[in-house]
Structures are given as structure tokens and as C-alpha cells.
Structure 1
Amino acid sequence: MRMKPAKSAPRRLVRGDIDGFFGLALDNLIQVLLIVGLCRGVLGFSSELLYGRVLPGVALSLLVGNLYYAWTADRLARREGRDDVTALPYGINTVSLFAHVFLVMLPVKLAAMGAGQSPEQAAELAWQAGLVACLGSGLIELAGAWVADPLRKLAPRAALLSTLAGIALTFIALGFLFRTFAAPIVAMLPLGIILLTYFGGVRFGPLPGGLVSVLLGIALAWGTGLVGWDDARFAEALAPAGFYLPRLWLGDLWEGRAALGAYLSVILPMGLFNLVGSLQNLESAEAAGDRFETAPCLAVNGLGSIAAAVAGSCFPTTIYIGHPGWKALGARVGYSVLNGVAMGLLCLSGTVALVAYFVPIEAGMAIVLWIAVVIAAQAFTATPAAHAPAVVIGLLPGIAGWGALMAKNALRAAGLATPDNPLTPELAAKFRLSDTYIEGAFALEQGFIFSAMILAAVTVFIVERQFWKGALWALAGAVLCWFGLMHSFRWTATDTIIDLRPGAGAGWAIGYVLVALALLYAQWAKGRSRTDKA
């Protein structure tokens, strides 16, 4: 009897892991730099708040996920006797990062300052709200790990992807596109390198294209004077260097609990998107030849976000897209471990401030812009061609929400929307003089993630002539409106914010009910037409 050859133990670190590490670490580094830039520039976080609380939580969440997914890949490789298993890529969720900053934390900060709180107190409240949003997202991902497939079947793909695409195009892509053309000599070449690398398949010698893009951006930024040496700024960047152990912030989570209800319209859909997106990325990995167990992988994804929240981070983690790409590079298990350790040390040591000093955001933002383009393009390429109208309709609420934010930013830049010059309903009449119905934009801004899903789903079922399913989605929209989770808003001195109370969105609720009745009539007429033909 012939003996079967023993399965050889796969190597945990190979040459391709170095390429994979640079690619994944660069992606994660850009996310961390975004966190630093947005928390400091938009939210006004102090150094203690950012480096002593937020980034240690980020470090813990990245270590939890990267080490776990490396372990599962190693276990799969040993079980199947293979040396080509690639660990799932993992890191900060880009879309959630922007959603939590602009749709949860910034409104909380502005509302607090409008109520007379100091900027420092407002930043503290914004951080607490971010913790709650991150915890909520993680709990949704954890709870949904065992019911992901039914959740995925409930909503048409066009409804899910177009909503993400709306956020990607507006809150991610447009801002960085503006910034690219504000500094064209520095930012346009890195964007071109990224497009050539990821869309054109061009290689730039032995170095990953993303690294080449960032290095060129750094050289151009320093060489053209966009950034320059400043002793005071360097000393400020050096000051946070130290060692920051993650701590538990359960008391602050409890203090921020009101955000769970006030921003449920952001937290719930984003948690579901993270869940479904991670499931799709597991399917992508399986198509590339690596079949990982679904429930444990999704559960640890949720646990990573929960660990982030209790340890001080406001930003959920997720399984990244691109597993087949890392596999093609030759990355296996080691790249995930290297990424977790490197990002962990960077965040725990406070040295990310030094990296942010030497690497301006203009040098790396092309990668984030590319991610946004991929997300938006996927909404069209991964859905049936007949559903393209639904994708377009699903984009519109996100565009409207971003437009409302831009309008309010413009008002603040002009000295309005402040406690001394408050926003008032009379402002809408002035906007109408230029044929701009700004109150409609403010209505679409509230709960736009819900409304994008609902409008896209209704359109899908109209295209498919499954009118009764569209009616159910419209009625769901009516319920959300009635309780104030969608469209309803109230004026404050500095902002327009969601109005959570029964009956708050009665007018919009009636509108959705009327749409549901029209859809039910279409279903009845469809059945009657079949009867007449028979």
C-alpha cells in the first residue's frame, strides 16, 4: 500500500508578504492620517484626546483583526496542506470613518457649541458620540454574523451599493478631488500613478504602485514648498511621542448613550453595510481559492469594532476589498501580522504625529480617492444593467446630504450659522430667490442612508415589476419618517438636526404611503391584466 506524502507546513513569511505588507500598511496608514487630520482639523480634538484615547483604541482593533485573520489563514493552509492561502486584508472602514466624523461627531460638536459649550467640551461630547456609533456598528456586525445571508437577500444589491456609492462620491471623493486640483503640481501625479497601477495594470519596478505614488507625492510636496520645515510644527509633532496603553472608556460610552437614538439613522445602516460588505469580501476570497468560515470571520470583524469603541476609538474596522489582489502579489500570512504590529506600534507610540508632519495628506489622498471610485463603480458593475436607474436614484440622497453640508459650511464661512447670527426658517425663502429649495436638501440630509436604500429598492422592484415588494419598502419609509428617523429636521442656531419624535415627519410619511398605494394599484392592475389575457 502506497503511503500518502505528508503535508508540508506552509511558510508564514514569504517574499510576497513584503509587497503585501507595503500595500496594506500604506492603505491603513492613510486611514490613520485621515483620522489625525479630521480629528484635529474638523473636530478640534486635543492631543491628549487624539493620541491618548483614540489612537490606542485604533491600535487595539487593528491588532485584534490582523492577528486573527492571519491565524485563520495559517490554520486553513495547514488543514489543506497548501502554501498559497492569503489572509483576509483588514483595517479601518473608510466609509464609516467619514460617516462617523461628518454625520455623527461633527453635528454633535456643532450642536454643543450652539448650546454654549466650549470647543473643548464640545469635542469631548463628539468623541463620546463617536464611541457609541462605533460600538453600535460593532454590535450590529457581531449580531448579524449568523444571519448575514438573509439580511443580504432582504435588500437588493443596488440599494446597498448605491447608498455606499453616494457616500463615496461625495463625502470621500469630491473633497479630495477639490484638494487635488487646489494643489495640482503635487497631487495630480500621485493620482495618475494610482490610476495606472490599479486600473491600467502598470508596474513601477519592484515597488508597489501605491508606495511609488506616496513617495512621489512627498517629494513634490517638500520640493515645491507646499510643506516646509517649521521648528514649531516639528516640536508640536514630536511632543506626543511616548507610549500610550489602551484603556477602557466604559463611563464615556455610557455618557454618550443619547447618540444611539439620535443617530440611529446613521449607525444602523452603516453597521449593516459593514456586515454585508465583509460578507461580499469573504465571497471574493472564496472565488480566489481561499474559503474561510463565514460566521467566525464576521463575528471577529464585529468584535474588532467593539474593542475599538471600549478602548477609545470612534472608527469601526472591516474586512477589506482586494483579497485577490494581495493573493496575486504573493502575500500569504505574514503580511497581515506585519501590518497589525506596524500599525499598532505607530498608534501606541504617538509617532503617527511625526509621520503626519513628513507625509502631507496631498501625498496619499489619491489612494482614498481611488477607493471611492472603486466603491462607486461597483454600484454599477456588480448590479444588473437594468437596475442602473435604481443605482442613480440611490446616489441622489447622499449627494443632497453633502450639498446641505456644503451650504451650511458656506454660511458659517460668511459669518452665519453662529450663536450671534443663528440659522432661521426664514433662510429658506432667501435660498428660493435663486431657485434653490434648501429645505428639501436639509430634509434629504437627515437619514439619507435610509432614504437612499429605500428609494433605490423601490426602483429595483418597479423595474422587476414586483410592485408589492416596492410597496413594502415604501411603507417602511413611511414608518421611519413618522418616528423622525428620516427627513424630519429642526432648526438650531448653528445647524439643522434630526427631529426624533412620533409624528415629526408626518408630511413625508404621507408621501411614502401614497407611493405605496400607487405600487399596490400597479400590482392589482398587473394581476388583472393577466386574468384578462387568460
Structure 2
Amino acid sequence: MLNRDRPRWFVGQDLDGFLGLALDNLIQILLILGLCQGLLGYPPSLVYERILPAIALSLIVGNVYYSWLAYRLDEQEGTSDRTAIPYGINTVSLFAYVFLVMLPVKLAALSQGLSEEAAIEASWAAGLVACLGSGLIELFGAWVSDPLRRWLPRAALLSTLAGIAITFIALGFLFRTYAHPIVGLVPFGVILLTYFGRMKFPIPGGLLAVLLGTALAWITGLSRWDSTNFELALQPIGWHGPSFYLAAIWESRSILLSQLSVILPMGLFNLVGSLQNLESAEAAGDRYPTKPCLAANGIGTLVAAFCGSCFPTTIYIGHPGWKALGAKVGYSWLNGLVMGAICLTGTIGLLSYFIPIDAGMAIVLWIGIVISAQSFQTTPIAHAPAVVVGLMPGIAAWGAQTIKTSLRIAGLGTTERPFSAALIEPFQRQDLYLSGVLALEQGQIFSAMLLAAMTVYIIDRQFGWAALCSLIAAVLSWIGLIHSYEWITSDTVIQLGWGAGSEWAIGYALLSLLLFYAAWQHPRSQPALKE
């Protein structure tokens, strides 16, 4: 029988759900602070006055909408047990846009002789364009998502995602954990016990991990009281209202094409990931309409881009977990308002002073592990080789960035000692084919998807579809969206142009001929497009 109790905007169990979701969002925001100010060198004014207010608005819009949607559906169905869809900043897009869009654009701008300030502006604007592209794909993707999912095997999507998760997300924090083992290992253990060991602690495991990590950081001296830094953390406190940055997006619109090999796959990931999370919610007993939810995702991301944030938002994994906690509607809108207030008032800087990223990195490391494991767990066992193939371009891209960072640390990448093709031969003498690593770095998300899909179709003996994947790769190579690169002073960047990647295009075209031959030899192994 239906429970005819009226839904409520807040119940006691919503507090547990709020702590978990807010902590997840808080870690993402702390990561944004660390990466933008540390890695990218953004000044506090850009972060606190542009990026954070836009993040606040996108979180408020999405969380309030999903709370309202859950409440309205409960009213319509005469129930009061629906759990709102969890929503927040997309972790994978965060790392992908920082490392694959914003950092390369900044380095390219510096190599062209632009000032540090101008390079930072160009990098930030590139992030806005990437975020905008992702939002448009999410917004209009509801009408193409089902055909896409039928054509693109799950192994192709998830292994590509895992390639980013295991390298750009997980490995860096694993290294950091072992650089500070006294601080890092205990929170990591708490996260493993909570989410893998299903152990119950007196307080939510994520919160306990952060509290223990923070305490250990201050006890061991990893975090130290510094009156100057404390005063700097207090400076941003105040009201920072959002503004519109349409002009910056328009002026940087040309970046869209050069970054399409990152933006398009990431937008599709967000789209398909949202669909999978809606399916997960339905399996847990809460059915939500698809198109409004996908549209809300897109609108939240567009709000972020228009108002100054480079980071898309999306439906989170874990709806069954929040439902198991007893959370209903209130945990979602409360998360949006609290996270919004922290960003709009600049108090996130004070939190980042007291809570070092080392205290919360176990949660992000866990996210990377889960995403990587999912690529094997939720695909057919026979497709495991395709998952491994899909991981390789992501690993290569991470390796390329590591190599180039090492070269810059060694003093190369300057006007006096610029990067050039002369680097290839010394690496090759050590059996490291740098040219291949750099080729896989460019458009690595497209490459991973196509290689993994091609492998799946070969395993399933659908050789014609495998040949089609190879032909698509040949076309993308020919116009330079994958593999083709050029040297600049301190980096390698994608090289667009007709015939830019002709060498790889010819290779893929020859491979497609081989696959078409296999299809001709085994025509009966060509079933219709998978349902």
C-alpha cells in the first residue's frame, strides 16, 4: 500500500545524508582551490570573485531543483519516502579540464610570450568554454543518449573514464598519501573500512576520515599555525556575488575546436553517467523522469560557465547509499544552501587553512578506485581486454605530462632551451618512444573510446563495427583531433589542420581494411546493432 503521509522538506535522517554529500562537495571545492591557486597560479581574486560564486550558484540551482522534484513526485504519488538525487561538481571533469585544457592553454600562452596575467586569463576563459560545451551536451543530450549507448559499448565509456580516474585522480593522491603516511594512511583506512568493509562508525566514515586526517596533520606539523597565512585566509571573507562572463566566453570561442577532443567525450561521459545514476536510483526504488533531470544537469553546468566557473556539475553516484541512510528531500537542498553560502562568503578559504587537502584526499582516492573498478565490474567478463586497452591512452597522457613536467623542472621549456623534436631520439635510445607517448596524449579520450570499442567489437566478432571505429579514428587523425601534435616552448599541443595526422590516419585506414576483410570472411558474425 502507498504511504499517504505528506512528504516533508526535512527529516532527521537528512542530517546524515547532508554530512556525506556536503563533505563530498567540500572536498571538490578544496581541490579546486588547491589546483587553481597552486598548479595554475590563479590569484585569489579570480578564484574567490569569479569561480567560487559561480560554483555556489550552480550547486544551489541543481540541489534545490532535485529537492523540489523529489518533493513534487512524492506529492503526486502519495508517498513520503523518496530520496532526492545527489548532485554536485563532476570530479572527473574537474581533473580533465584542469590538466587537459586549462594547464595546456596557460603553458601555450606563456610560450607565445604572453604575460603571466594574460596566460591566466586565457586559461580561465578556456575552462569556461569547456564547461559551456559540456553543459550544452548535457542539456541537449537527452535526445541522442539512447542511440549513443546502443552503439558505444559500456567498456568503451567506462574504461576511458577509468583511465583518467586511475591516473589524474587516484595516482597523485596515492603518491601524496605515501609522502605523508602518518597523516594519509589512517583516513585512507577509514574510507576503505566504511565503503568497502561496510563498517559502521559512530559518525559518518567520510567525516571521521577528514577529522582524523586534520588532527594528524596538525599534530605532526604538516599543518602549522602561521599568522600571515591565517590573515590571508581571512582576507577573502565577505560577500562575493556572481557575475556574468559572456564576453570572456565569446572572445575565447575559437578554443572550442582545439579542445573538442576533450570537451565532447567529457560531455558524453556526464550524460551517460547521469543516465546510469538515474537507473541506479530506480533500482533503489526511486524513479525519476530522464529528460528533466538531464536538462537540469545541463542548466546547472551552463549557469556555472556563464557566471565564471570552469567546472561542470552532474548527478552523483551513490543514490542507494543516501537512501539507505534514510535521507529524503532535505539533505539535498541543505547541501546546496550551505555549500553555496561557503563559496559566496569566501569562508572556504578559512576551511582550507584548517583542513589540509591531505585530510580529505582519501575520499578522492576512493572515488578514483571505484571508477576504475567499475569499468571491470559492470562490463561483461569477455570484454575485460577492451577495458585494459581503453586504460592505456589515459596512462600515456599522464606519463606525457609527467615527462614534460620533469623536463621543465630540469630547466628545459624556456626561451633559451625550448622543447623540440630533438628530445625524441635520446628518449628512444632508452627504449621510451616519446613520440608515441605524445601522440596518445592528444585526444586521448577519443582514442581510448574508439580503441576500446573496436576491441569489444572484435571480441564479439562484429568486425564491421570494429572497422567503422577504425575509420572514425582515421578521420579524427586526419583533421588533427587525435594524435597530431606540435612543439611549443614548454609543451606539446594539439595540431589541427587538414592532413595534420596523416601518418596515423593512414595506419587506421589500413587497419579498417583488415577489419572489413575479416567481416567479409565471416559475414554471419555480423549481428544487428546491439540493443
**Cα shift readout 1:78-126 (whole Å, capped 9, x = no counterpart):** 1112221000000000000000000000000001111111211111110
Give the TM-score normalised by the residue count of structure 1: 0.97
Output aligned runs, 1:239-318, within 5 Å. 239-318=235-314
- Residue 197 of structure 1 aligns with which residue? 194
Q: Does 1:365 align with 2:371?
A: no
CA distance in structure 1 between the partners assigned to 2:425 and 2:226 by the alignment = 48
Aligned residue type for 2:158 = L
- In 2, the alpha carbon distance for the partners of 1:505 and 1:6 equals 62
Q: Does the alignment pair 1:235 with 2:223?
A: no
The structural deviation recorded for 1:5 is: 9.6
Superposed CA offset, 1:290-311 (max 9, x none): 0000000001100100000000
Q: 1:84 — aligned with what?
A: 81
* Separation of aligned partners in 1, 2:83 and 2:3: 22
Secondary structure, in 3 states, of the residue corresponding to 1:491?
Answer: strand
SS in 1 for 2:143: coil
> Could you tell me whether the CA contact under 8 Å between 2:4 and 2:80 is conserved in 1?
no
Equivalent in the alignment of 1:221: 217
2:529 counterpart residue number: none
Give 1:413-428 correspondences, 5 Å limit: 413-428=409-424
Q: Is the 8 A contact 2:3 2:79 kept in 1?
A: no
CA distance in 2 between counterparts of 1:6 and 1:157 reads 37
| Partner residue of 1:327 out of 323, 329, 335 | 323
* 1:399 aligned residue: 395
Q: Deviations over 1:189-218 (max 9, x none)?
A: 00000000000000111x100000000000
Secondary structure of 1:318's counterpart equals strand
Out of 423, 426, 429, the position equivalent to 1:430 is 426
Alignment of 1:3-402 (within 5 A): 7-205=4-202, 207-402=203-398
CA distance in 2, matches of 1:285, 1:348: 31
Query: In the TM superposition, what is the alpha-carbon distance from 1:412 to its structure 2 partner?
Result: 0.6
Residue by residue, what CA displacement relative to the aligned partner does 1:399-452 show, whole Å, maximum 9, x if unpaired? 000000000000011111122210010110111121110110000000000000
SS of residue paired to 2:314: strand
123-132 or 251-260, larger mean C-alpha shift: 251-260
- In the aligned structure 1, how far is the partner of 2:324 from the partner of 2:242? 35
Pairwise CA distance, 1:75: 0.9
Give the whole-Å Cα distance in 1 for the aligned partners of 2:417 and 2:330.
56
- Which of 115-124 and 265-274 deviates more? 115-124
Q: The residue matched to 1:313 in structure 2 has which SS?
A: coil
| Compared CA separation, residues 12 and 527, structure 1 to 2 (3 A) | same
- Asked if 1 retains the 8 angstrom alpha-carbon contact of 2:261 and 2:482, the reply is yes
Deviating more after overlay: 29-38 vs 414-423: 414-423
1:502 aligned residue (491, 498, 513): 498
> Aligned partner of 2:328: which letter?
R
Shift of residue 6 of structure 1? Answer: 9.2
- Amino acid in the other structure paired with 1:430: P
Distance in 2, matches of 1:529 and 1:153, equals 18
Structure 1: stretches of 5+ with no match in the other structure: none
Given residue 267 of structure 2, which amino acid in structure 1 is its aligned partner? G
Secondary structure in 2 aligned to 1:49?
Answer: helix
| Gap runs ≥5 in structure 2 | 527-531
Count of aligned positions: 526
2:519 matched residue in structure 1: 523
**Distance in 2 separating the partners of 1:490 and 1:8:** 64
Amino acid in the other structure paired with 1:133: A
**AA aligned opposite 1:230:** D
* Equivalent-residue separation in structure 2 for 1:95 and 1:330 (angstroms): 28
Does 2:439 correspond to 1:443?
yes
Provide the alpha-carbon RMSD of the alignment. Answer: 1.2
Displacement of 1:147 after TM fit? 2.5
What amino acid maps onto 2:92 in structure 1? V
For 2:426 and 2:144, how far apart are their aligned partners in 1?
Answer: 49
Give distance in 2, aligned partners of 1:345 and 1:527. 61
CA distance in 1, matches of 2:298, 2:74: 24
**Percent of residue pairs bearing the same amino acid type:** 64
**For residues 525 and 2 of structure 2, what CA distance do their matches in structure 1 show?**
67
The question of whether the paired residues in 1 share the 8 Å contact of 2:3 and 2:80 is answered with no
In 2: Cα distance, 1:491 partner to 1:406 partner: 16
The whole-number CA distance in structure 2 between the counterparts of 1:405 and 1:278 is 29
Structure 2 counterpart of 1:463? 459
Provide the C-alpha distance between the structure 1 equivalents of 2:31 and 2:460, rounded to a whole number of angstroms.
Answer: 41
- More displaced 10-residue stretch of structure 1: 150-159 or 400-409: 150-159
Q: Distance in 2 between matches of 1:135 and 1:403?
A: 28
One-letter amino acid matched to 1:191? F
The SS at the match of 1:178 is helix
Instruction: For residue 7 of structure 1, report the CA deviation from its aligned partner.
Output: 2.8
Q: Identify the residue that residue 483 of structure 1 maps to in structure 2.
A: 479
Distance 1:386 1:6, change over 3 A: closer
Secondary structure of the structure 2 residue equivalent to 1:291? coil
* Partner-residue secondary structure (3-state), 1:417: coil
SS class of match (1:105): helix
CA distance in 1 between partners of 2:297 and 2:459 (Å): 35
C-alpha distance in 1 between matches for 2:2 and 2:119: 65
1:373 positional shift? 0.6
- Which amino acid in 2 is paired with 1:82? T
